[in-house]
Amino acid sequence: MSTLEKTEKEQTAPATTQQLSGSQAVLEALIHEGVDTIFGYPGGAIMPIYDALYDYNDKLTHILVRHEQGGIHAAQGYARTSNRVGVAFATSGPGATNLVTGLADAMIDSNPIVCITGQVFASLLGTDAFQETDVINITTPVTKWNYQVTDATEIPGVLAKAFYIARTGRPGPVLIDITKNAQLQLFDYKGYEFCNHIRSYRPKPIVRHEYVEQAAQLINEAKKPFVIFGQGVILGKAEQEFKNFIEKGGFPAATTVMGLSALETDHPQHVGMLGMHGNYAPNVMTNECDVLIAIGMRFDDRVTGRLDKYAKQAKVVHLDIDPAEIDKNVKATVPVWGDCKETLPLLTNLISRVDHSNWLQEFRELEKEEIKEVIYDELNPTSDVMTMGEVINVLNELTGGNAVIVTDVGQHQMVTCRYAKFNSSNSNVTSGGLGTMGFGLPAAIGAWYGAPDRDVVAIIGDGGIQMTIQELGTIMQFGAKVKILILNNEFLGMVRQWQQLFHDRRYSFVNITSPDFVAVAKGYYIDGNKISERKDLRNALKTMLDHDGSYLLEVMVGKENNVFPMVAQGTSVSEIRLK
């Protein structure tokens, strides 16, 4: 019997009553929702759930992280590579508050996560009991939905609702806080019913066909149409629909950081990455196009630069599943609400097949300028000091663009996003909206569990790795085969770059001293190596990739190399600096 047939049978089978504890009901819900991996850390208030988990080891894999923040970042990485809901457990008080950064990160980057936290007994709520924190009010701004359970009979229905909300519409994090008495309470369990509707919650807006028609008319009249796409294409599983759309229309297409891998890097209509450290051509041409077609992206400040100078000459078609994003930052001429997997085919059917090769060539001419001024020297440096770009370039050659690339936050992140090659979707895992240093290592662990058949390479700076370096213990204990590539410039590089460019080189507390990373890794029984010379680079990367198991490679790169091009804050995207 197929999984779908089993699910349908479970949904239609008559309910049978049995006595379960609230904790058992939690685990039954996870199993019914298709969860296979949980990232968590036990504690007093969630101990009944962990006690029940002892009897579910054959059905659920629990990964003991070394910090709750590592647990939620791992759940994010899992969600990003598996296209499933990530799950994290934490106890009350500090355990729950340690999830907040990850919740905020998942909220802004639309990661489907369900976090389950333990809470003190209901009778103690509001008494400042040991490890009691008002996690509901703390997490309300950074969750799509949260709820506190004080009665076990609520658990099946609440968790069904939690998973439905987390994964539908614009995905996001949900937190369910369960008091200890509800975890221990026995009740008559009548089976699990999936949630597929909530009154007042409409995950997919109604598609207005008149807007699709208006959008098609604008696009068909355009002489210089330009497509910018974001993670919405990936979240909607609409990669093929997107490709059909741009290929029929002949449009140049540029990606946001979060949209990377939705379209293969070498596609002939892919013109690069937008944003503060994006490519020269797509940034400049944003202020030259006559119709700007935005798909599954939110016009954040890193993409737009100065809003009063952003694409003022263009008519804007904005496709998004979240109505709140329409007109939030950039006024849409025509809004197309809905899931892009549904709206893109409708739009594709109505657009004309047009040759925009001359317009596309204008992007290529500007690309040549960027290659001459920036890219060639970054990938082929003449000095003895290695650049981050050349490291990524060699990595591309060895992986063929088929690896999952997980980045932390900083210069290495922007360089990787600029130069990494992606041949398939769900291959770029990074902290885009929140910019969370420390994200990379635990997210890579989760990414590997979400896609254990793929090479997972975590590219991290010497600053970010030290924020969650304890998660090497998680790798040691559970064996995730993560390749860790530390690009060490002995600075908090992105802050240093800004201090150099905008604060007269007043380097205030950006010099960072690091431990012997290879020795630290070996302390966790993880093999590793450190190199500082170009002649060793290819073999060192190949050894890392070929190693059967996790591996840490530290590469020393230029201390004061900068990431260019750059759109300085407060300037227009067309004022992007090549140097």
Report whether 337 contacts 211 (CB < 8 A): yes
> In percent, how much of the chain has pLDDT > 90?
96
In the predicted structure, residue 12 carries a pLDDT above the cut 70: no
CA dihedral 131, 132, 136, 139 (to 10 degrees): -30
Residues facing 119 on adjacent strands? 179
pLDDT of residue 15: 55
Report whether 184 contacts 22 (CB < 8 A): yes
Residue scoring higher pLDDT (392 or 15): 392
In the predicted structure, residue 8 carries a pLDDT above the cut 80: no
Catalytic residue among 33, 68, 154, 390: 68
Residues 215-270: tens digit of each pLDDT: 999 999 999 999 999 999 999 999 999 999 999 999 999 999 999 999 999 999 99
Catalytic residue among 121, 131, 213, 477: 131
CB atoms within 10 A of CB 239: 18
Pair type for strands 145-149 and 18-21: unpaired
Residues 500-537: tens digit of each pLDDT: 999 999 999 999 999 999 999 999 999 999 999 999 99
Q: Which two tokens stand for residue 249?
A: 């229309």
Sheet with 334-337, strands from edge to edge, namely: 270-273, 253-255, 225-229, 291-295, 315-320, 334-337
Q: Which two tokens stand for residue 172?
A: 């996001």
Helices (runs of H) and strands (runs of E) counted in the chain: 24, 20
Separation between Cα atoms, residue 319 and residue 313, nearest integer Å: 19
pLDDT of residue 569: 87
Report whether 251 contacts 289 (CB < 8 A): no
Contacts of residue 256, defined as CB under 8 A and 6 or more positions apart, other chains included, come to: 228, 229, 230, 231, 273, 274, 275, 297, 300, 303, 432
Residues 453-503: tens digit of each pLDDT: 999 999 999 999 999 999 999 999 999 999 999 999 999 999 999 999 999
Binned at pLDDT 50, 70 and 90, residue 579 comes out as confident
In the predicted structure, residue 49 carries a pLDDT above the cut 80: yes
Separation between Cα atoms, residue 151 and residue 572, nearest integer Å: 54
Write the CA distances from 416 to 277, 394, 566, integer angstroms: 11, 12, 15
Average pLDDT over residues 176-180: 98
Catalytic residue among 161, 180, 315, 341: 180
Average pLDDT over residues 11-27: 80
Write the CA distances from 36 to 24, 43, 467, integer angstroms: 16, 21, 28
Q: Which long-range contacts (CB under 8 A, 24 or more apart) does 95-98 make?
A: 95/41, 95/43, 95/45, 95/46, 95/68, 95/131, 96/68, 96/133, 96/135, 96/138, 96/139, 96/177, 97/133, 97/135, 97/138, 98/67, 98/68, 98/69
> In percent, how much of the chain has pLDDT > 70?
97
> Is there a catalytic annotation at residue 131?
yes
Q: Which residues of 99-128 are buried (b: 16+ CB within 10 A; e: fewer)?
A: bbbbbbbbbbbbbbbbbbbbbbbbeeeeee
Element (H, E) at 225: strand 225-229
Catalytic residue among 386, 388, 467, 494: 494
CA dihedral 460, 461, 466, 467 (to 10 degrees): -70
Residues 112-125: tens digit of each pLDDT: 999 999 999 999 99
Catalytic residue among 130, 223, 331, 569: 130
**Packing angle of the helix pair 411-419, 493-502 (nearest 10 deg):** 100
Average pLDDT over residues 199-212: 94
Separation between Cα atoms, residue 144 and residue 307, nearest integer Å: 27
Separation between Cα atoms, residue 395 and residue 389, nearest integer Å: 10
Residues 132-153: tens digit of each pLDDT: 999 999 999 999 999 999 999 9
> Is there a catalytic annotation at residue 299?
no
Closest CA to 218 of 109, 329, 352: 352
> Is there a catalytic annotation at residue 229?
no
Residue keyed to tokens 């909607």: 236
Average pLDDT over residues 318-332: 97
Q: Which two tokens stand for residue 323?
A: 């109505």
> Is there a catalytic annotation at residue 421?
no
Instruction: Establish whether the linkage from the previous residue to 345 is cis, with ω within 30° of 0.
Output: no
pLDDT of residue 370: 96
This prediction has a pTM of 0.95
Q: Which residue ranges form the domains of the chain, and what is each CATH number?
A: 11-189 (3.40.50.970), 209-363 (3.40.50.1220), 386-556 (3.40.50.970)
Report whether 421 contacts 379 (CB < 8 A): no
Element (H, E) at 87: strand 86-90
> Is there a catalytic annotation at residue 273?
no
